[in-house]
Amino acid sequence: MASKKEILGKIRILITQKFEDPQEAFNFFDKNGDGYLSKAELIELVKSAKVNRFLSKVVAKTIITGLDKDDNQKLNWKEFSKAVKVLLTEK
């Protein structure tokens, strides 16, 4: 099973190598354009980072639980960008 560090590393690689910036990544995965990343949209982000199918659901739920400050079960740009900023500065 992949460790938290490995999973975050895969997400970091996805965001930095496939997109010009985090805003582009957010917009790409916000499929319905509502300004939020739902659990389903986060699952797609995690799968795109090459995290296995089973873990992608668990990781998406964990991301929402840890980062959703307004408790609406999805991430807005502010919540996502804050998390990405931390993710990109960690080694």
Residue 51 gets the label, from left (phi > 0), alpha (psi -120 to 50) or beta, of beta
CATH number of 4-89: 1.10.238.10
Domain ranges of the chain: 4-89
Q: Compute the distance between CA of residue 3 and CA of residue 72 in angstroms, rounded to an integer.
A: 27
Query: Which of the 8 DSSP states describes residue 9?
Result: H
For the segment 12-23, the average pLDDT, to the nearest whole number, is: 95
Q: Compute the distance between CA of residue 35 and CA of residue 9 in angstroms, rounded to an integer.
A: 25
What does the mean pLDDT of the chain come to? 92
For the segment 7-27, the average pLDDT, to the nearest whole number, is: 95
Q: How confident is the model at residue 10 (pLDDT cuts 50, 70, 90)?
A: very high
Tens digit of each residue's pLDDT (9 = 90 or more) over 19-54: 999 999 999 999 999 999 999 999 999 999 999 888
For the segment 73-79, the average pLDDT, to the nearest whole number, is: 96
Place of tokens 């980072």: 49
Residues 6 or more apart in contact with residue 30 via CB below 8 angstroms: 36, 37, 41
Tell me what pLDDT residue 45 has.
95
Overall size of the chain counted in residues = 91
pLDDT at 1 over 80: no
